[in-house]
Amino acid sequence: MSSASVVPRPGTTAPPPPHRAIARRGDPRRRRTSLARRRQRGAMIFLAPAVLVLGVGAGYPLVTLLHMSFSDVQVENLFQTWTGNGLANYRSLRSLPEFHTVVVNTIGFVAVVLIGTVTVGLIAALTLLKRLRVSRFVQALMIMVWVLPPIVVGSLWKFMFYGDGLINNVLAALGMHDPIGFISDPNWALWSVAAVSTWVSIPFAAVVFRAALLDIPAQLLEAASIDGASRAQTLRLIVLPLLRPTLLVVAVLTVVNAFRSFDLIFVMTGGGPGTASATLPFLGYQLAFQQFQYGIGAAAATISMVVVAVLAIGYVWLSRRELKSA
C-alpha cells in the first residue's frame, strides 16, 4: 500500500520515507547475531500483553458468538451452559418477516454511504487541496464533526429532521406544502440516517484523499501540463489512476464503518418505523437485547461478521498487492 503512502512534508509528524523500513525488513543478508536474537525475544515479550487482551476481549467473544449462534440461548440460560440446536437459529432468522427488509436495507444503506462518501470526499479533497488559509479551516471544521460523539450528531440531526424542525421549515419557505417525515416516514427513515452517516464519514475520506493527492509528484503534473493536457484530462488520466489504491482503502473502510454504524440508527430512528431503518447488525442487537432471543440475534450478528471478514480479507489482499507493486 505504500504507493498510497504519505511522504512526510516539512512540519509533518512522520519521519523518513517508508521504503527504508520495507527494504530493511526484507533484507536477506542480515546476519542473526545473539544481540538480534535477544532483541527478538524482547519484542515478543512486548507483544504478549496486547495479544492476551485481544485474545480474551476480542477473539474469545467471536468464538462465543459463533457458539451462541448454534445454540438455544434464552434469558433463562444466558449465563448457564447452552445446548446446541444446529441451524435452528439461522432458520428462525430467515423465516422472520422482517429479515428480507433488513437485508435489503443493509445493502441500500451501505451503498448510499459508500457512493456518497467516496464521491463527495474526493470532491471535497480537490476543493481543499489549494494551500489557502480557508482550506485548513474547513478541514479542521470537518474533522471536528468527525470526532464528535455519534450520539450528539444523531440527536442534532433528529432535531433538525423533525416534522416542525429546521429542514421542513426551510422546505416550507421554499414552497413545499406538506412536511416530510424524514425520520417518521418508512420511505424516508433509512435514507435520512444514511445521509447523516455519510455526512459524518466524508471528513475522514476527504483528509485521506487530500494527503494522497498532495503526494502526487509535482513533476508529473507539470509534464502533463507541458504536454498540453487539460485540467479534466490530468485528473482522469493521471490523478485518478495514481489515487486508485487510496480509493480502494477508503472504500473498504467506509463500507466497514457503514456496517458498524449503530449509534446513529439507535438514536435517530431506533430502527423504525417498524424495521424500516434497521440494518442486519442492528437487527441482531434488537433480537438479543430487546426480544431476548440471544441465539437468533447471535445468528444475525454472525452473518454480519462473515460479511465483514470477507471485506477484511479483501482489504489485506489489496494492501499486500499494493505493497508488492510499489
| Nearest distance from C-beta of residue 314 to other proteins, angstroms | 10
Closer to other proteins by CB, 47 or 104: give it: 47
State which residue, 87 or 220, has the beta carbon closest to other proteins.
220
Select 4 or 113, whichever has its Cβ closest to other proteins.
4
What distance separates the 2 farthest-apart alpha carbons in the chain? 80
Cβ neighbour number for residue 54 with a 10 Å cutoff: 11
**Closest CB to other proteins among residues 108, 179:** 179
Please, which residue, 20 or 100, has the CB nearer to other proteins?
20
Minimal distance in Å, beta carbon 172 to other proteins?
9
Q: Which CB sits closer to other proteins, 188 or 204?
A: 204
Question: In Å, how far are 19, 79, 222 from 218, measured between CA atoms?
Answer: 20, 62, 6
Please tell me the distance from the alpha carbon of residue 220 to that of residue 217, in angstroms, as a whole number. 6
**CA neighbor of 224 nearest in space, from 238, 243, 241:** 238
What is the four-CA torsion angle of 232, 235, 241, 247, rounded to 10 degrees? Answer: -120
Give the nearest distance from C-beta 15 to other proteins in angstroms: 4
Minimal distance, residue 74 CB to other proteins, in Å: 12
Taking the C-alpha atoms of residue 6 and residue 216, their distance in angstroms, rounded to an integer, is 9
DSSP assigned state of 2: G
d(CA 128, CA 130): 6
Residue 17 CB, shortest distance to other proteins, in Å, is 8
Extended strands (E) in 63-133 = 71-72, 83-84
The label of the residue with cell 536474537 reads 37
- State in angstroms the smallest separation of the CB of 65 from other proteins: 4
Q: CA distances (Å), 203 to each of 2, 106, 128, 160, in order?
A: 22, 22, 11, 21
Closest CA to 285 of 306, 259, 311: 259
Nearest residue (CB) to other proteins, 107 versus 134: 134
Distance CA(157)–CA(121), nearest Å, equals 20
